[in-house]
Amino acid sequence: MKALLKATIYQPLFNLLIFLVWLMPGNNLGLAIVALTIIIRLLFLPTMIKQGISQEKLKVLQPLIKDIQARHKEDKTAQSKAMIDLYKKAGTSPWGACLPLIVQLIVLGLLYRVFQIGLSTDRFDLLYNFVPHPSAVNVHFLGIDLSKPELWILPITAGLLQFVQTKLSIATGGKGKKKVNADDPMSMAMNQMVYIFPVVTVVIARGLPAALSVYWIITSLFMIGQQLYINLKIRPKIREQFADSEIDLIGKFDDKKENQKKTKDNKKNTTHGVSVSIRKRGEK
Amino acid sequence: MLKKIIIAGIIGYQKTLSPDHGLVRVLFPGGYCRFQPSCSDYSILAIKKHGLLVGSAKSLGRIIRCNPWNPGGLDLP
């Protein structure tokens, strides 16, 4: 199993990284990591944007989802069916997937491993024949040795950027702003996560080779750009179409839940306004 | 016994790291998963239904299916 993972995941990524090192001026590892991060993010870009757009739409459904989860707490099968039903009626569904998460974890693991085995040329036996062998790897980037933990600049930058990114992605902005409900300990706890995660990031990043912080920083920067695009370009359109109908929408869905066993035509009528407005957006 | 430990582990994951059930679900108010049930719920159901060996294999298959190129939807073990 270990050998299989090494041959299928670790080795290709290692080869890609070394190839990028070879490509970069002065065989600079820092630049290679930046390039590797950007390549990975670009691969996920279409799915991330899709996911961001559907998230925007789905925010409106949150009360209904909570309701479904509460009602079918014991029966996951019924819960799943009710959720699918809801997504169908809303005309959109989440686009999150496990595999990209796992790939990202593996990349982190890889970068860590690369420094464990060292970047000395004696591990180049792992390289494929067609990959050019750089004569040496320059691990210094902006005056920082990437192979060793760096305690201040990079980890704190990574934490700050992560904070900005999280803030941006939960900020509802404008009209539909929802205040944190102080009576709801769950939503309070979650709101604190916005502050806790960046701190955790800083603490972890301080203990790992600085290369990982670079990876983290570039990832956050990329995600911030992505989120800004969604917040500034996509969100207004969605808000526009939900502005008048938000409360109605929830009312309509509730109606539907109660009348679930009625005819399909009936259902269509009750969601008419909603599904139309969502489709309009989809066309753009 | 081992089955219980594995399921407890999955629930532990759900309470912490899981984007759909865990601490970061504040970021995904509309839900995260393209599949229903989520991969972790699926795994628990599969292990309970088919036993540890077959259930785990089915769970692994689900995680691989849960990629950006799969439209998702209802998928029970």
Cβ contact A62–B30 (<8 Å): yes
Q: Name which of A43, A93, A98 to mutate to probe chain B: the one with the most chain B Cβ atoms within 10 A of its Cβ.
A: A98
CA–CA distances in Å: residue A177 to residues A59, A170, B38, B45: 11, 10, 28, 37
Cβ contact B36–A97 (<8 Å): no
Pairing mode, if any, of strands B35-36 and A144-145? Answer: unpaired
Sequence-distant (6+) residues with CB within 8 A of A274 are A89, A90, A91, A245, A249, A252, A253
Pairing mode, if any, of strands B35-36 and B73-74? Answer: parallel
Cβ contact B26–A65 (<8 Å): no
Residue range B3-45, pLDDT digits in tens: 889 989 888 888 888 888 877 777 777 778 888 888 888 899 9
CA–CA distances in Å: residue A200 to residues A109, A193, A208, B16: 17, 10, 13, 14
As given in the structure block, the two tokens for residue A134 are 């750089």
Please, are residues B48 and B59 in contact by the beta-carbon 8 Å criterion?
no
| Closest partner CB to A193 (pick from B26, B41, B72) | B26
| Closest partner CB to B29 (pick from A58, A189, A191) | A58
pLDDT tens-place values along chain A, 284 residues long? 777 777 777 788 788 888 888 888 888 888 888 998 898 889 888 878 888 888 777 777 777 888 888 888 788 788 888 888 888 877 777 888 887 788 778 777 877 777 666 565 666 777 787 888 777 777 778 888 877 788 888 899 999 998 998 888 776 554 444 455 555 665 666 677 788 888 988 998 888 888 888 888 998 999 899 888 888 887 777 777 666 554 444 444 444 444 444 444 444 444 433 433 444 443 43
pLDDT at position A121: 61
Hey, is the C-beta of A108 within 8 angstroms of any chain B C-beta? no
Chain B positions in Cβ-Cβ contact with residue A84 (cut-off 8 Å): 36, 73-74
3-state SS of chain A?
Answer: CHHHHHHHHHHHHHHHHHHHHHHCHHHEHHHHHHHHHHHHHHHHHHHHHHHHHHHHHHHHHHHHHHHHHHHCCCCHHHHHHHHHHHHHHHCCCCCECHHHHHHHHHHHHHHHHHHHHCCCHHHHHHCCCCCCCCCCCECEECCEECCCECCCHHHHHHHHHHHHHHHHHHCCCCCCCCCCCCCCHHHHHHHHHHHHHHHHHHHHHHHCEHHHHHHHHHHHHHHHHHHHHHHHHHHHHHHHHHCCCHHHHHHHHHHHHHCCCCCHHHHHHHHHHHHHHHHHHHHC
Chain A positions in Cβ-Cβ contact with residue B63 (cut-off 8 Å): 98-99, 102
Hey, is the C-beta of A121 within 8 angstroms of any chain B C-beta? no
pLDDT at position A137: 75
Sequence-distant (6+) residues with CB within 8 A of A181 are A187, A188
Cβ contact A99–B44 (<8 Å): no
Hey, is the C-beta of A260 within 8 angstroms of any chain B C-beta? no
Cβ contact A95–B76 (<8 Å): no
pLDDT at position A187: 64
Residue corresponding to tokens 């955790």: A200
Q: Name which of B27, B38, B47, B49 to mutate to probe chain A: the one with the most chain A Cβ atoms within 10 A of its Cβ.
A: B27
Cβ contact B74–A65 (<8 Å): no
Question: Which residue spans within B1-77 are E strands per DSSP?
Answer: 35-36, 73-74
| Closest partner CB to A170 (pick from B26, B32, B72) | B26
Cβ contact A98–B63 (<8 Å): yes
Chains A and B form CB pairs within 8 A to the count of 97
Chain A residue with minimum CA distance to B73: A84
pLDDT at position A159: 92
